[in-house]
Every structure is written in C-alpha cells, then in structure tokens.
Structure 1
Amino acid sequence: MINFNYENDFNLDNELVLSEWLSKVILSEGKTEGEINYIFCDDEYLHKLNVEYLDHDTLTDVISFDYTMGNEISGDCFISVERVEDNAKDFKVSFDEELKRVLVHGMLHYCGYKDKSEEDEKAMRDKEDEKLLLFHVKQ
C-alpha cells in the first residue's frame, strides 16, 4: 500500500494516478508492494532528519528509510517540496516531472539501486528514465 502524507501545505491532486504508477514500478522490478509512505515536507523538516539520522548537514530533496524485507518493498520516503521546486527550475523541467523523478528515485532505492558512486548514479538515472516512461503507459 502506497500512502501520501503531508507535513506542510502541499497536497497532491493525483494520488491515485501516482500510486498506480509506483505500483507498476515495483512490479516491473519483480518486487511485491508492502507499506510505502511518502511524506512531503519543507527544507527545514528534511534537513533535521538529514542531520539527526544520516549525520549530513546539507539540504536534500529526498531521504528514503528502507524497511524492505526480502522481496517486499517497504519504507518511508521524505520529500522536500522546496528542493523539488528549486531542482525543477535548475534542470529546466516542470515541477510535476521533477516530483515524479524524486518519487521514483526513492522507490528505486527500496529496489536495491544505489547512487553513491558515479557509476551507480548513472545506473540510477537510467533506471529513473526507464520508470518515468512507465508513467505514460496506459494500464
């Protein structure tokens, strides 16, 4: 089950469409869907988590806490709406496209993809692009 939660004024207007797409992403990776929580917040909220749990004193767009057991994907994915807005401007894409990329990025971490090395980061970007195409495929 995919849940969307809000720690700020932001609200998705297409939760069902996004959750159906993210479920397709999970299936396309040969995984099963457990409990996945997306929590939308601001920079301050996510920065506190980054410092407290990861010992990183930086702003970030997404932090994924992975509770996956075996093949069943589960986790809490925190997303800073402010970072997504800024990144969309920097990358010259729409807010919606950048948000989808961040949503699927968190999910791909649960599927086992990493992004710490340059090689892993490229593989993650390629996988994000592949999964973004799934969004436009009718069920």
Structure 2
Amino acid sequence: MEYVIDITNEVEKYDLSNEMEKIEKYISEILDSEIEDSIKDIYLSLMFTDIENIQKINKEYRDKDMATDVISFAYSETENAGFYNVLGDIVICLEVVDDNSKKYGHGFERELYYVITHGVLHLLGYDHINEDEKKEMREKEEYYLNKFGYRR
C-alpha cells in the first residue's frame, strides 16, 4: 500500500519545512495501523492555514462563523484520483494550534501532532458525537501521541 500525503503550508510565520517528512511518516504510521491491507493506495491532503482562512472554511462548510484548530473532510472509498483512493482533506490553523498549546500548557509540537491525529482519525471514521465514540477517539489519540513520544 502506498500513501500520497500532500502537505501545504500557507502560513509563513510558521516554518514547518523541516517537519514535513516527519509529519508524513507520522500519518503513514497511523494509516498502517488503521487501514486494512486490502485497501489500495491512499491519497490525503493536509493544509496548514491561518485564522482568517479557517474561519471562512468553518463558516462555509459547517455554518460556524469562528476559527477552529482543525477541520476534516472525509471522502468515501469510492472516490479516487487516478490510482489512489482519496481519504480526504485536513485543514489545520497553526495560530489556533499555537494558542491552544499555551492555553493547555504543553508545547507547540505536541499540540500540532494532536490536531493532526484528530484530523486523520476523523478521515478514518472516528467521531466524538456521543460519549462512547468520544471515549474511543480520545483513547486512539492518546495511544498514537504516546507511541510517538508526544506526551502532555
């Protein structure tokens, strides 16, 4: 199985160029653990953006006129781009990630990987609408974060 993870960073203030390969590897590890071997090659996009853009996206697609840290758009397995199944798109606001890292008292890197994990798990069908789903998703998030050393 091959993964194509298309990462873009629209926010010059946060230089993640040295982090891109690590982010791709991290996402690939989660996908390896969560996706059946019978699924063919996967494509997903990850965009880092600013408060203004994520607020526009949140308003347009979720009818919430406010900034947020991460939004995921999951696609069905039947959609494809060439030979790849399109898993979906993740949009992360780096300014909100930075603010949240300070608010929750842990580093930027840990918060960044938390929202990446959260977004990927949404693409894989996890949710937090009811308490049982929320508990399962939180346990998965903590499992991956701890496995890769992103502790609180």
TM-based fold match above 0.5: yes
Residue equivalent to 1:107: 120
How many residues are treated as equivalent by the alignment? Answer: 135
Q: Distance in 1 between matches of 2:111 and 2:133?
A: 20
Residue equivalent to 1:44: 52
> How far did residue 41 of structure 1 move?
0.6
Q: Which amino acid aligns with 1:22?
A: I
After the TM superposition, which residues 27-106 of structure 1 pair with which residues of structure 2 at under 5 Å, given as runs?
A: 27-31=32-36, 32=39, 34-69=42-77, 72=85, 74-106=87-119
Q: Distance in 2 between matches of 1:130 and 1:67?
A: 25
Q: Which has the higher helix share?
A: 1
Structure 1: gaps spanning 5 or more residues: none
State whether residues 73 and 110 of structure 1, in contact with CA within 8 Å, keep that contact through their aligned partners in structure 2.
Answer: no
Query: Is 1:18 aligned to residue 31 of structure 2?
Result: no
Structure 2: gaps spanning 5 or more residues: 79-84
Which moves more between the two structures, 11-20 or 114-123? 114-123
> How far did residue 56 of structure 1 move?
1.1
Identity between Structure 1 and Structure 2 (%)? 36
> How far did residue 5 of structure 1 move?
0.4
Residue equivalent to 1:7: 10
State whether residues 21 and 134 of structure 1, in contact with CA within 8 Å, keep that contact through their aligned partners in structure 2.
Answer: no
> How far did residue 123 of structure 1 move?
2.0
Q: Which has the larger radius of gyration?
A: 2
Per the alignment, do residues 42 and 107 of structure 1 end up closer, same or farther by CA in structure 2, a change over 3 Å counting? same
RMSD: 1.7
Task: State TM-score, norm by structure 1.
Answer: 0.88
Q: Distance in 1 between matches of 2:7 and 2:134?
A: 26
CA distances 1:31-62 after superposition (whole Å, capped 9, x unpaired): 45511111011111000000011111222100
Query: Is 1:135 aligned to residue 138 of structure 2?
Result: no
